[in-house]
Amino acid sequence: MKTEFIKLDPACPDETMVRRAGEILKAGGLVAFPTETVYGLGGDALNPEASRKIYAAKGRPSDNPLIVHIADMDHLYPIARRVPESALRLAEVWWPGPLTMIFEKTDLVPYETSGGLDTVAVRMPNNSIALALIAASGGYIAAPSANTSGRPSPTTAEHVLGDLDGKIEMILDGGSVRIGLESTIVDFTEEVPVILRPGYVNRDKLEAVLGEVRMDPGLTDEGATAGLRPKAPGMRYRHYAPRAALTIVEGEEDRVVAKINALVREDEARGLKCGVIAPTESAGRYEARDVKNIGSLANDKEIASHLFRVLREFDDDGVDRIYSEAFNTPRMGDAIMNRLLKAAGHQIIEA
Ligand code: AMP
Ligand code: MG
């Protein structure tokens, strides 16, 4: 299949192009598009055949459900059986935005889209191209991240092309995404709302609207040690993984720098190519040849938005080993460390 690559101006997306992309989706085809979090691989969420194609194009396990993207609040009720008042309050503040909510699903949502579950994940993305495309496609786009399953999520249209060229009908290029990490997922099917995946909308922001919020115990270190599994199926798989083995080194800055420099020296003496991920504050202190400055600790949004790109760049550089500092920053630290730990297969050492 020939994949069409179309550049669009996010400030004013060409209507004819958006309509054409919408027609592809209505006909059961696949279109990748930008959102504010990462690029999504879209198919008609109400068409089981389209969802099957999404799993096939990504190589995604079919028990890992897809998020349904809507552009209009009225489109929520036909797919969600019970929408609690607290979820509406959250939508009022954060939709359109980087927030996904889980509800019991109606029969309109095929099990192919919900990964066999009786619940559905719904989000209204904050991106003009995405919103125009959803409206042009009939109102419901199932869209996981537009990467090959297991690879870092795509934050540019070129990343999507690298993974999915020849496998989907069209890629809409709207430039680099703003946030760079996937949406926060909150489950509203339990008594107290539960965070199933940390993201830009952090716990403090959720509590400001909802009051009590729980963290899925399967996501915490204690939960994992006790053998609990994350409730969101996608959080159970190794994910975001660069080709090189990645190790996180945690601790006080001087010790971390010394530890990583020692590890790199050992590896390089054995002929291995090493890369280091460090913040602006300490990047100059590393001896490795391939040091990537991921952004300043004073601005962790910058770190979040660079993470997946940096992991992909190490693939292109062909490094054998990557060492990263830990980023337990106050605002986005939970989300950044959740992705980094998964990319590292939970390899973390204390300096
Ligand atoms: P992605 O769109 O690639 O970021 O993946 C979507 C994430 O949402 C995966 O981790 C899924 O497991 C999760 N998800 C989607 N639908 C549900 C649901 N009904 N219940 C729990 N998790 C869900
Ligand atoms: Mg994904």
Residues 141, 260, single domain; the answer is no
SS3 letters across 2-66: CCEEEECCCCCCCHHHHHHHHHHHHCCCCEEECCCCCCEEEEECCCHHHHHHHHHHHCCCCCCCC
For the stretch 306-330, pLDDT in tens is 999 999 999 999 999 999 999 999 9
**Domain presence at residue 282:** yes
Ligand 1 lined by 144 (C-beta under 6 Å) = yes
Ligand 1 atom at minimum distance from 117 CA: 19
Q: Is residue 225 domain-resident?
A: no
162 and 125 belong to one structural domain: yes
Confidence label for 223 from pLDDT (cuts 50, 70 and 90): confident
Single-letter amino acid, residue 239: H
Residues 255 and 301 in one domain: yes
> Does any ligand 1 atom lie closer than 6 A to the CB of residue 119?
yes
Examine residue 328 and state whether it is found in any structural domain, yes or no: yes
Please report, as a single letter, which amino acid is at residue 230. Answer: P
Asked whether the predicted pLDDT for residue 95 surpasses 90, the reply is yes
**Of the bound ligands, which one is closest to the alpha carbon of residue 237?**
1
Query: H or E element: which one contains 349?
Result: strand 348-350
307 lines ligand 1 (CB under 6 A): no
Please state, in angstroms and as integers, the Cα–Cα distance from residue 58 to each residue in 69, 168, 181, following that order.
18, 10, 18
> Is residue 253 in a domain?
yes
With respect to residue 71, please indicate whether it lies within any of the assigned structural domains. Answer: yes
Q: Please report which confidence band the pLDDT of residue 238 belongs to, taking 50, 70 and 90 as the band edges.
A: confident
Average pLDDT, the chain: 96
Q: 87 falls in which pLDDT band (50, 70, 90)?
A: very high
At 85, which CATH number? Answer: 3.90.870.10
Task: Tell me the best of 41, 63, 102, 239 to mutate to test the pocket of ligand 1, counting ligand atoms within 8 Å of each CB and taking the most.
Answer: 102
**Is 223 a domain residue?**
no
What pLDDT is stored for residue 206 in this prediction? 98
Cβ of 277 closer than 6 Å to ligand 1, yes or no, is no
How does pLDDT run across 136-186, given as a tens digit for each residue? 999 999 999 999 998 999 999 999 999 999 999 999 999 999 999 999 999
Among 175, 200, 234, give the residue marking a domain's end: 234
263: domain CATH number is 3.40.50.11030
| Same-domain check for residues 139 and 286 | no
- Judgement on whether residues 161 and 50 belong to the same structural domain of the protein: yes
Specify the 3-state DSSP secondary structure of 337: helix
Which protein residue has the closest C-alpha to ligand 1 atom 1? 144
CA triple 84-88-90, angle to 5 deg: 115
* Residue nearest (by alpha carbon) to ligand 1 atom 22: 232
Answer whether 121 contacts ligand 1 (Cβ < 6 A): yes
Same domain for 80 and 47: yes
Supply the range of the domain harboring residue 284: 240-350
149 CA distance to ligand 2 middle (Å): 7
Check if 152 has its Cβ closer than 6 Å to any atom of ligand 1: no
Please tell me whether residues 245 and 343 are part of one structural domain. Answer: yes
Q: Is the pLDDT score of 221 beyond 90?
A: no
Do 210 and 255 fall into the same domain? no
Kindly state whether residue 201 falls inside one of the protein's structural domains: yes
Distance of CA 240 from the midpoint of ligand 1 (Å): 15
Which ligand minimizes its atom distance to the CA of 150? 2
**Could you tell me the strand order of the sheet in which 290-293 lies?**
290-293, 274-278, 321-325, 245-250, 348-350
pLDDT of 237 higher than 80: no
Total of domains in the chain: 2
Q: Are residues 260 and 125 part of one domain? A: no
Residues 196 and 258 in one domain: no
Q: Are residues 284 and 314 in the same domain?
A: yes
> Nearest CA to 289 among 254, 258, 314, 255?
314
67 C-alpha to ligand 1 centroid (Å): 6
- Would you say the CB of residue 64 lies under 6 angstroms from ligand 1? yes
Asked if 163 and 254 sit in the same domain, the reply is no
